[in-house]
Amino acid sequence: MNTSNYQLIIITLLSVAVRSGTVILFPTIGEIFTERSGVLNLGLEGIMLISAFVAFIVAFYSNNPYIGFLIGILTGGIISLLHSYICITLYGNQVVSGLAISIFGSGFTNFYGSNFANLKLDNPLKSFPIPYLSKIPIIGQIFFNQDIIVYFSYILVPVMWFLLYKTKIGINLRAVGENAIAANAMGVDVYKTRYLWTIFGGLLAGAGGSYLTVGYAPFWMDGITAGRGWIAVALVIFSMWNPLISIIGAYLFGSLDALQFQLQVMGTKIAPSFLAMIPYLTTLIIIIITTVVLRVKRIGVPKELGKPFFKEEK
């Protein structure tokens, strides 16, 4: 194999890594904002599964991946609205509610998805190169020969960072996540803030799941998310609740995910099940290292995370 062939393989690998990373980048950013408001949503895996299924069904019958993507996003928002109602209005246990959503999502898609197993979309999202930028050697082929959802993610990350750290909306959000009682005393509507950002997190989880089945892997199979929702929850810790850092974790996972598929295609003698385990094992190691760093630098989780807010408290 000559040098140009190796270069082509690496470019293809990294291009796939960007798309794979985009699947997990959306729910990671969404969960960062949800947790910043003090609400923990462990239902990302279930939300992604149901959204992926709904998006696939809509795209399959409408032959329009964009409609499927949008309906999938709305599905994520509706499910997170239910989580919000249980956790914020009813003061329910956030962990139990999230786990229930994940278990329900697995069962729901397993039951109703059996009739669509291994079906493929005839018209998935298509890549289109950005003029001039796509002509940049190597970088252009990796980052600017993608589909519109990937381009949207490029814009989303800095916009959400700016909103979180440089706007009044972000200040209010962080205030609610650090000290809800003080934020309430300052006139911030804690309930409204938590509802808004929990639903927002669900919408982005829906975006990740939808992109999986209408763009990255345009077919349906049981358990297609393969634990990506749980990885997104873990990457929130890796990113230290910062949207800019989250893109590093998402693309790292995407690179390992793409690499294990590439190695299988190349006929490596390593067992496929071991290769499939590598992205998740690496994520676990990263989380351990990140947790140690967080303790050393004394960077902790939002102080109100997982705690219900009672307005009558003083």
Please give the average pLDDT of every successive group of 10 residues along the chain, which has 314 residues: 74 91 96 95 96 97 96 97 95 94 94 90 92 90 93 96 95 94 92 96 97 94 91 90 92 86 74 77 79 70 86 61
Rounded distance between C-alpha atoms, residue 157 and residue 147, angstroms: 17
Distance CA 200, CA 29 (A): 10
Q: How far apart are CA 303 and CA 310, in angstroms?
A: 15
Q: Are 223 and 106 in contact (CB under 8 A)?
A: yes
- What is the pLDDT at residue 48? 97
Tally the C-alpha atoms within 13 A of residue 143's C-alpha that lie toward its C-beta: 12
- Tokens in use for 148? 């519109």
Q: What is the amino acid identity at position 14?
A: L
Place of tokens 């190695």: 263
How many angstroms separate the first and last alpha carbons of the chain? 71
pLDDT score recorded for residue 288: 80
pLDDT at 4: 72
| pLDDT at position 284 | 78
pLDDT score at 297: 67
Which pLDDT value is given to residue 163?
96
Among the listed residues 24, 41, 30, 27, the one whose alpha carbon sits nearest the alpha carbon of residue 305 = 41
What's the whole-model pTM score?
Answer: 0.92
Asked whether the beta carbons of 11 and 142 are under 8 A apart, the reply is yes
* Distance, C-alpha 173 to centroid of its chain: 20
Spatial distance between the Cα atoms of 13 and 258, rounded to a whole number of angstroms:
6
Look at residue 306 in the predicted model and tell me its pLDDT. 86
Write down the pLDDT at residue 218: 93
H, E, C per residue of the chain = CCHHHHHHHHHHHHHHHHHHHHHHHHHHHHHHHHHHCCCCCCCHHHHHHHHHHHHHHHHHHHCCHHHHHHHHHHHHHHHHHHHHHHHHHCCCCHHHHHHHHHHHHHHHHHHHHHHHCCCECCCCCCCCCCCCHHHCCCHHHHHCCCCHHHHHHHHHHHHHHHHHHHCHHHHHHHHHHHCHHHHHHCCCCHHHHHHHHHHHHHHHHHHHHHHHHHHHCCECCCCCCCCHHHHHHHHHHHCCCCHHHHHHHHHHHHHHHHHHHHHHHCCCCCCHHHHHHHHHHHHHHHHHHHHHHHHHCCCCCCCCCCCCCCCCCC
Residue 280 confidence (pLDDT): 79
Tokens of 309: 């807010």
